[in-house]
Amino acid sequence: MDRAHHKLSLRPVRDHIRYIDAAALRRAMVARDILPRLVIRGESARSPEGTVPRGETLDVLNRALEEFGKVLIWDLDGIERNRPNLRLVRHFEGEGLWVDAGARGTEAVIDVLIAGAERAVIGTKTFRSLEEIEAARELTDNLAFLVDFAYGKVWGQGEFATLPPSLLLRRATDVGIEVGLAVDEGFAIPSSLLREAPETLALFTGVVPRSAMASLPSRVGAIVDIWEVVPRMT
């Protein structure tokens, strides 16, 4: 068989498979609260294809906010180096950005909110104690408490490294936190955590692959890679 003809014959099959995957994802999203996550460094985003320039990053954020009403910003410079770049947040001031800028104290939390974030993410990988969480909560309601996992185990320091994750969520709820996040890059989140989370807590978990979307408890929101739900235009 001619090689060129063989390649052309496979393309409709690939396109059809992509269409089926996208359609299945959309069906799973209908009854689920979706929180797209965008990973940034500086003012550029990261995608499976590589670095996304600022202009395209602004475009995908605009489209995600329009469709889902909120986006989780994962600021690598803030998380890894304690040097967040909040210019992107200021561009969308007053819109639904939930920002993990690696805040390591209450002053950093306030900086994120002043920049225009709807919620500042605080959690186990940068805070050290529930007392610090409570101190941040006394300053603002606009928080999301993150229990960060690495390979199925809590990524934390201080008492966060020793307390069970379900207890961490309950304690956060006790001090008035209304939104919780449980994140593992490989989605190795203990299923018991999702079942046992306080009913008064709006819990989102991820990063959820397409194949696992339908398996989540109905009241748990899904954190998904933004490129899964708002594809690049180029």
Q: How does pLDDT run across 103-149, given as a tens digit for each residue?
A: 999 999 999 999 999 999 999 999 989 999 999 999 999 999 999 99
CATH-assigned architecture of domain 32-229: Alpha-Beta Barrel (3.20)
pLDDT given for residue 31 in this prediction: 58
For residue 198, report the phi and psi dihedrals to the nearest 5 degrees.
-55, 140
Alpha-carbon distance of 230 to 148, in angstroms, equals 24
Question: Checking phi first, is residue 128 left (phi over 0); if not, alpha (psi -120 to 50) or beta?
Answer: alpha
Q: Is the pLDDT of residue 170 over 80?
A: yes
Burial class (CB in 10 A: 0-12, 13-18, 19+), 184: buried
Indicate the pLDDT class of residue 1, thresholds 50, 70 and 90.
very low
How many CA atoms does the CB half-sphere of 66 hold within 13 Å? 7
Q: 203: which strand partners?
A: 180
For 194, the token pair is 């999702």
pLDDT tens-digit readout, 31-66: 589 999 999 999 899 999 999 999 999 999 999 999
pLDDT at 66: 97
Q: How far apart are CA 58 and CA 47, in angstroms?
A: 14
Q: Would you say residue 9 has pLDDT above 60?
A: no
Closest CA to 116 of 136, 98, 142, 90: 90
* Helix-helix angle 106-115:130-139, to 10 degrees: 40
Q: What is the pLDDT of residue 11?
A: 41
Global confidence as pTM: 0.86
**How far is it, in rounded angstroms, from Cα 143 to Cα 83?**
20
What confidence tens digit (pLDDT) does each residue in 102-114 have?
999 999 999 999 9
Burial zone of 35 (CB within 10 Å; 0-12 exposed, 13-18 middle, 19+ buried): buried
Tokens of 128: 């050290």
Domain boundaries defined on the chain? 1-30, 32-229
